[in-house]
Amino acid sequence: MNTGVEIAGVKFKNPIITASGTFGFGKEYNELYPISALGGICTKGLTLKEREGNASPRIAETPSGILNSVGLQNPGIEYYLAEYDKWLSDCGTTVIANIAGSKLEDYVAIAARINDSSADMVELNISCPNVRSGGIAFGVQPESVRRVTEAVKKVCNKPVITKLTPNVSCIADNAKAAEDGGADAISLINTITGMAVDYKRRRPILANNTGGLSGPCVKPIALRMVWECYNAVKVPIIGLGGITSYTDVLEFMICGARAVQVGTANISDPYAAHTIARDLEEYCRSNDIDVNTLVGTLELN
């Protein structure tokens, strides 16, 4: 049996990675369990300068899901390098730094700065639906996906994952654009733009009016999109969207994901990522499976 996976030369002890924005920089969860048990962690989205994010409320519960509109609140790359980088590199798991910007030059500048970190990989957030400029603006048009990926690849000396938005007409085209731009891997899906309404006040619940939908309700969409991308590109895929159990992980891997990210489940159950990693290992042991042999083995009806 084997649960170890490799993406663009970077090793993960298991395919369970925590998704950006749901896990902070790992410190809170490390109080509950050793995060070294995880395959990897993906940091909160980092920007060049500190960001205060959007007004509250920033979250609304919807059936089997949540809408969020945090707006990339983060302490900025310099604070990250000073306060979290060393701690994360010592915590015994693979680290992916998620980076975001408002314009192309921001992405290039932060990608260059992240070279000084001990992060193992970089995830390019061009799919945040909750910021006015940048974010998703780079993620919708395939040509823009290619351009920003290419610009980051030119300056970044770490493997680059381009994170794709599902708010597009054909995600396979965007996956190919990321690959053409030199992405070492792609991750999908980011959240789906949605709205929750308070009928009594006749207002959206979120201060930002719209937000990103995540949780178990998006899993079928994510599985379909992972499968479409698997059939469109050669680069490894990290699948995410509504994963709450090890069987969800198996489904994503069968659809073509080399690894997965667990996001919203961490919020419902703070032990979720740890439990999923443990259960997956137990499944692989009792069935003598190498998880790598599952990738892309879906047979259509």
Q: Which residues are catalytically annotated?
A: 128
- 93 sits near another protein (criterion: CB under 8 A): no
Other Cβ atoms closer than 10 A to 137: 17
- 270 sits near another protein (criterion: CB under 8 A): yes
Using the rule CB under 8 A, which residue among 9, 63, 293, 301 binds another protein? 63
Distance CA 110, CA 49 (A): 10
- 61 sits near another protein (criterion: CB under 8 A): yes
Q: Which range, of 64-72, 118-126, 227-235, 283-291, touches another protein by CB under 8 A?
A: 64-72
Coil vs helix vs strand at 59? strand
Using alpha carbons, list the distances in angstroms from residue 115 to 99, 100, 109, 152: 12, 15, 10, 11
The residue whose two tokens read 């990103």 is 212
Coil vs helix vs strand at 48? coil
- 175 sits near another protein (criterion: CB under 8 A): no
- 271 sits near another protein (criterion: CB under 8 A): yes
- 193 sits near another protein (criterion: CB under 8 A): no
Using the rule CB under 8 A, which residue among 66, 119, 160, 277 binds another protein? 66
Distance CA 152, CA 100 (A): 11
Distance CA 138, CA 190 (A): 13
- Rank residues 57 and 296 by Cβ distance to another protein and give the closer one: 57
- 9 sits near another protein (criterion: CB under 8 A): no
- 269 sits near another protein (criterion: CB under 8 A): yes
Sheet holding 65-68, edge to edge: 59-62, 65-68, 211-214, 192-194
Binders of another protein among residues 207 to 236 (CB under 8 A) are 215-216
- 70 sits near another protein (criterion: CB under 8 A): yes
Distance CA 120, CA 10 (A): 7
Region class of 92: left (phi > 0), else alpha (psi between -120 and 50), else beta: left
**Site track for another protein across 16-45, x = CB under 8 A:** -----xxxx---xx-xx-----------x-
- 87 sits near another protein (criterion: CB under 8 A): no
- Residues at the site binding another protein, with contacts judged by CB under 8 A: 21-24, 28-29, 31-32, 44, 52-53, 56-61, 63-66, 68, 70, 73, 205, 215-216, 264, 266-271
